[in-house]
């Protein structure tokens, strides 16, 4: 080989054959003796300015290669060599070592110092542990295409290994634990296309490792071979100065656990494929582009300086049984393990999980995301359980789930969304149930949540549908709450929509089908209400007490009496004929605020009619009298809300009384000393108008039927007068 010392050999050695030819035998100690000038050692350089190289090719090295605690200022190069014993480089200070297409029974390199790269390349096989514990390499550790296959112990033992450069291990095959806790690397850790195979334990232990560049566990860019890991990736407290990428990786959990699931630790994930608790990544975390995991991906209390990317990822805990589609018949779920466990993690960018497929719970409790969260077209499955649990989940931008398909409950109580929560065209099916009493959980829980702009549960490519309750008690939506074209409830949960106490600017309830369950709008507040008749045909009662809205999206015209009657009919049907005064008063208040006094009076008359009906239903003996009194109040004075009708009745009674008292004989004067002229008009007017005295009622004495008619006129006068006074008082109160 030009530029270095080489061997004259009898052929090309196959280092992987256990039976080497006799011509290839060489004592390993001969490697050291070659650099001794007294033994005729001659060193050549690759270039005049580089360190001399000792190159050994096509040799079966017998006996120990003992470089322990040796300062060896030469580059060592082994090409197609096979070692009988593991080279001993403990506490050695070397210029650099390269093993190309070699076979080693292991390597002892504890506290090794290398001034240049340490390379195991070209198909090198290490059939024992590669021990680099506490080593220091002022270059790069290269394991490209290497196979680490120890019979016992870890494949790579690199605790506290310090690399000034990178760790390059593309297409590495490690049949045992890659143990690198506390590793410090000035550059990248690249395991592109590698296969870490330790299914009975931890495949990579990187507890507390520090990476000065990127951590790549990705497909090989030349062959497309994905990174595969059979066993657990254990990376708690890791520090990555740039991106942490598992793009396109294939992760399988270990088959045996180091400890049983503790009964007092509900947050332990026994089947985790990735554990990155308390890790800190300054760039992006990429779990996308066909990333696949059959166990839990756990990143708890971590810090991600960029974005968490999960687009087209697949986390499937079903063992391949999950259909990820809506179809009849039994399907797996709920799953005992979480699929994604991100509690307490801070993401300075966003979360992109578009087109993801997740079978198992996504846990987002106390997660903070400064950007947007995207779940468009994703399928999240944990049937009869919680598909998403995100208590106090905080999103700085949008939380989008357009055309999202969810099997299970989405629990986001106390969530904060800076902009829109958009679920248009989504389907929320198979919600879970509470363990304490087996009562159904909601499909979507937004209790006391805060949404900075719009909540959109409307139709998109398909209608929005939620088979369980939409629970949004005390939620605050600063702009629009939109249920346009949606289907709410399926009858298995008694409540379809629970919007108790929500506050929003515009509330759209123009649904596509009648809500299949109760609707609770008590204490809700909105500026505009958009609804349709279908909503009021809900199959459960609609609770409206103290529900306030300032205007309808489509105002009631002043001459549209039919619309008012139609809306009153909707109210009666929605409340299941149960009397509640508040909804009628609110409807009247809204009409009056729009200047529609006549229609407001119509609503209040209907309120009183329903009130007297409820009183009659509760009073068996007095029911007929109450119903008659209600009928008289309604037709005579409109329960006091139509005072002009009272004046009309007063004028009619005046005419009737005048006619009656005109045809009877002139009555006697009550005082014989008075000399009055009989006037039927003034006498009738004096009977009908209380308080005011026209000087006739007490001056004449009538008998027979006229006496009873006079008494009736006095009573009618008091009733009509008080009704007129009450109506005028209400008008004055409203005007003030």
User: In the chain, count of helices (H) and strands (E)?
Assistant: 9, 67
Give the model's pLDDT for residue 78.
95
Q: Which residues of the chain have pLDDT under 70?
A: 1-10, 35-51, 256-264, 636-637, 639-640, 643, 670-676, 693-698, 723-736
What radius of gyration, in Å, describes the C-alpha atoms of the chain? 44
What pLDDT is stored for residue 715 in this prediction? 82
CB-count burial class (<10 Å; 0-12, 13-18, 19+) for 659:
exposed
pLDDT of residue 675: 66
Is the separation of the CB atoms in 393 and 340 below 8 Å? Answer: no
What is the pLDDT, as a whole number, of residue 85? 96
Query: What letter would DSSP give residue 639?
Result: G
For residues 641 and 653, give the distance between their C-alpha atoms in angstroms, rounded to a whole number: 20
| Residue 625 vs residues 526, 552, 613, 616, 718: alpha-carbon distances, Å | 41, 38, 11, 8, 19
Q: How far apart are the first and last CA of the chain?
A: 107
pLDDT value at residue 255: 84
The beta-strand segments (E) located in 20-124 are 25-27, 44-45, 52-57, 60-62, 71-79, 82-83, 93-100, 103-104, 107-108, 113-114, 118-121
Cα–Cα distance, 607 to 589 (Å, whole number)? 13
pLDDT confidence of residue 66: 93
Per-residue confidence (pLDDT) for residue 672, from 0 to 100: 64
DSSP 66: B
Q: Tokens for 400?
A: 């989008």
């Amino acid at each position: 080989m030009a530029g270095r010392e080489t061997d004259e050999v009898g052929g090309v050695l196959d280092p992987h054959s256990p039976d080497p030819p006799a011509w290839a035998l060489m004592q390993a100690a001969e490697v050291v003796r070659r650099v001794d000038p007294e033994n005729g050692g001659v060193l050549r350089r690759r270039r005049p300015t580089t360190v001399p190289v000792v190159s050994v090719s096509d040799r079966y090295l017998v006996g120990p290669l003992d470089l322990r605690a040796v300062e060896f200022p030469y580059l060592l190069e082994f090409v197609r060599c096979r070692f009988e014993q593991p080279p001993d480089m403990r506490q050695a200070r070397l210029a650099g070592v390269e093993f190309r297409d070699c076979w080693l029974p292991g390597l002892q390199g504890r506290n090794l110092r290398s001034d240049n790269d340490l390379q195991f390349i070209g198909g090198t096989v290490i059939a024992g542990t590669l021990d680099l514990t506490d080593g220091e390499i002022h270059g790069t550790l290269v394991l490209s295409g290497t196979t680490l296959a120890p019979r016992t112990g870890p494949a790579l033992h690199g605790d506290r290994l310090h690399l000034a450069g990178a760790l390059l291990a593309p297409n590495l095959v490690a049949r045992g634990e890659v143990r690198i806790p506390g590793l410090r690397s000035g550059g990248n850790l690249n395991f592109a296309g590698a296969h870490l195979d330790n299914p009975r334990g931890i495949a990579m232990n990187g507890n507390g490792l520090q990476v000065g560049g990127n951590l790549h566990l990705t497909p090989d860019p030349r062959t497309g071979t994905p990174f595969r890991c059979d066993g657990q990736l254990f990376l708690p407290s890791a520090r990555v100065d740039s991106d942490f990428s598992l793009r396109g990786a294939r992760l399988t959990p270990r088959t045996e656990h180091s400890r049983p699931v503790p009964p007092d630790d509900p947050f332990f994930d026994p089947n985790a494929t990735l554990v990155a608790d308390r890790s800190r990544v300054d760039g992006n975390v990429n779990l996308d582009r066909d990333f696949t995991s059959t166990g839990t991906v756990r990143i708890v209390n971590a810090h991600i300086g960029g974005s968490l990317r999960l687009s087209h990822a697949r986390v499937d805990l079903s063992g391949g049984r999950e259909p990820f589609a809506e179809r009849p018949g039994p399907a797996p779920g709920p799953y005992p393990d979480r699929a994604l466990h991100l509690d307490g993690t801070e993401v300075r960018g966003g979360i992109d999980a578009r087109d993801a497929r997740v079978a198992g719970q996504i846990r987002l409790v106390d997660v903070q995301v400064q950007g947007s969260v995207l779940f468009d077209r994703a399928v999240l499955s944990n049937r009869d359980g919680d598909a998403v649990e995100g208590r106090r989940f905080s999103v700085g931008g949008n939380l989008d789930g357009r055309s999202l398909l969810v099997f299970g409950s989405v629990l986001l109580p106390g969530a904060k969304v800076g902009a829109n929560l958009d679920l248009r065209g989504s389907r929320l099916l198979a919600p879970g149930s509470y363990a304490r009493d087996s009562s159904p959980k909601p499909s979507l829980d937004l209790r006391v949540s805060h949404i900075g702009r719009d909540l959109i549960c409307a139709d998109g490519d398909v209608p929005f549908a939620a088979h369980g309750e939409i629970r949004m008690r005390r939620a605050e939506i600063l702009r629009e709450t939109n249920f346009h074209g949606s289907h709410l409830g399926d009858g298995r949960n008694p409540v379809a929509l629970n919007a108790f106490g929500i506050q929003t600017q515009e509330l759209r309830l123009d649904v596509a089908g009648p809500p299949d369950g109760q609707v609770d709008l008590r204490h809700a507040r909105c500026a505009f209400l958009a609804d349709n008749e279908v909503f009021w045909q809900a199959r459960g009662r609609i609770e409206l007490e103290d529900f306030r809205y300032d205007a309808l999206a489509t105002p009631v015209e002043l001459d549209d009496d039919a619309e008012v009657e139609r809306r009153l009919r909707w109210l009666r049907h929605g409340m299941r004929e149960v009397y509640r005064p508040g909804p009628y008063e609110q409807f009247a208040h809204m009409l009056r605020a729009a200047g529609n006094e006549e229609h407001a009076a119509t609503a209040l008359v209907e309120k009183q009619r329903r009130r007297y009906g409820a009183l009659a239903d509760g009073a068996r003996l007095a029911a007929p009298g109450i119903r008659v009194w209600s009928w008289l109040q309604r037709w005579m004075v409109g329960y006091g809300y139509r005072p002009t009708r009272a004046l009309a009745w007063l004028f009619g009674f005046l005419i009737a009384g005048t006619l009656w008292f005109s045809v009877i004989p002139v009555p006697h004067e009550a005082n014989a000393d008075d000399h009055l002229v009989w006037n039927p008009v003034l006498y009738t007017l004096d009977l009908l108008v209380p308080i005011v005295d026209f000087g006739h009622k007490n001056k004449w004495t009538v008998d027979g039927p006229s006496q009873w008619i006079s008494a009736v006129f006095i009573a009618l006068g008091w009733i009509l007068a008080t009704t007129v006074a009450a109506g005028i008082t209400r008008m004055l109160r409203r005007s003030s």
